[in-house]
Amino acid sequence: MKILFVSTGHVDDDSRLLKESATLQAAGHDVTILGWREDPHGRMTTDTFDFDGQTLKAIFTGIKISYSFKYFKVFAFMRFEAFLYRWLSKHLHEYDAVQACNVHTGYITSKVAKKTKTKLVYDIFDYAPDTRNYPEWYRKMVVHWENVTMATADWTLICSEDRRRQIEPAKPKHLAVIYNSPLDSPVATNAEAFDPTQKDFKIVYIGGLSPYRCLPELLGAVEKKSALSLTVAGQGQYQDMFADAGKRDPRIQYLGVVPYDQVNGIEKTADILVALYDPVLKNHLYASPNKFFEAMELGKPLLMIEKSGMSDWLIKYGFGAVCGTSEADIADGLQRLIDKRQNWAKEATLMRQIYQKEFSWSLMQQRLRDIYQSFEVK
């Protein structure tokens, strides 16, 4: 099949999109990614990405988004959606199936796919109505867009079981869970021995440096405890905060943006991993953090915020720890993890067993292949 992926994100570091695209191309499909870049403004460009043994081809439109006045970004999205409608109307008939990522591409794509009778898979990375504290009138409109897209799509993909509740009362034709699991990697198969007598502990966080992830609180907790060190990678609002902290304190290391294929190796050096999603943002109640799955695969002690998405697994099986969102709460959670370090090796074995049974990327790949196989059978 010829499959088109449509996304507004940074394709080169969008691990979910790249993993899914590579999975389908490895299965024999011809995959193209249609995306959005800021430069060169006003021009179409092409590119390729080597990922997980596959070379993926991509087409981009150039639309400026880096305005000093943030509300101008709305016009950038409107321009992209107008471009998307025109491009799909002209080219979508050339593809057998299209996979749209999030409502920014899903709603427009569903309209054109319905006209062209193209098979549509709608992948909800983040359920848009819950990503911001929108005015009620606007939230209702976004819910409508989501519901229409799900009702039109042949398959809707969500990234955790909890999101079945989040998307109610939408009525997708078919629904599947594709967890945000990392690529299966041999680096995760050999566990390092945990030393119950160790005195210093390295924390690693690689991901978006954005609000509502308790990052200033994490930094404060680490800076106040000399036994802790922190390695951070990623980009976003708090990158300067971590870069400055690294200049004044050798225990803080900011790596900038690192390629996805290096994440696993860096996290393997950690004593503790964190996924601190603040549930004050409704979407975080249903989050499916990459860090959760990476910690499970590696068997690393994990700290999460209580009631955030996937944190129930820690409570259910008694590994890792959950905490509140304040600096004091995070410091306490880290200390509770450290205090039970004699159990880390046993917990690591349990985490890997659960990961292989419930979450491994090989399982997710098979689910995805089965979905597209169902199109061919019909």
What pLDDT digit, counting tens, does each position of 284-310 carry? Answer: 999 999 999 999 999 999 999 999 999
Could you report the per-residue pLDDT of 7-17, keeping only the tens digit for each? 987 787 789 99
* Distance from chain centroid for Cα 226: 32
What pLDDT does residue 41 have? 86
What pLDDT does residue 154 have? 98
Could you report the per-residue pLDDT of 237-258, keeping only the tens digit for each? 999 999 999 999 999 999 999 9
% of the chain exceeding 70 in pLDDT: 96
Q: How far is CA 316 from CA 273, 313, 320, 321, in A?
A: 19, 5, 11, 11
Tell me if 125 sits within 8 A of 101, measured CB to CB: yes
Tell me if 203 sits within 8 A of 215, measured CB to CB: no
What pLDDT does residue 57 have? 97
What is the DSSP code (8-state) at residue 22?
Answer: H
- CATH class of residue range 2-181+360-377: alpha beta
Tell me if 281 sits within 8 A of 130, measured CB to CB: yes
pTM exceeds 0.95, yes or no: no
Contacts with 51 (C-beta within 8 Å, 6 or more apart), sequence order: 18, 19, 21, 22, 260
What pLDDT does residue 351 have? 96
- Mean pLDDT, range 174-196, rounded to an integer: 76
Q: Under CATH, which number does the domain 186-358 receive?
A: 3.40.50.2000
What pLDDT does residue 187 have? 46
Domain boundaries, the chain: 2-181+360-377, 186-358
Please report, in angstroms and rounded to a whole number, the separation of the first and last CA atoms in the chain. Answer: 13
Same fold, 2-181+360-377 and 186-358: yes
* 378: confidence class by pLDDT, cuts 50, 70, 90: low
- Mean pLDDT, range 100-107, rounded to an integer: 95
pLDDT winner (highest mean) among 22-31, 70-79, 161-170? 22-31
The verdict on whether omega for the bond into residue 196 sits within 30 degrees of 0, i.e. cis, is: no
Q: Which helix (H) or strand (E) holds 47?
A: strand 44-51
Could you report the per-residue pLDDT of 327-377, keeping only the tens digit for each? 999 999 999 999 999 999 999 999 999 999 999 999 999 999 999 999 986
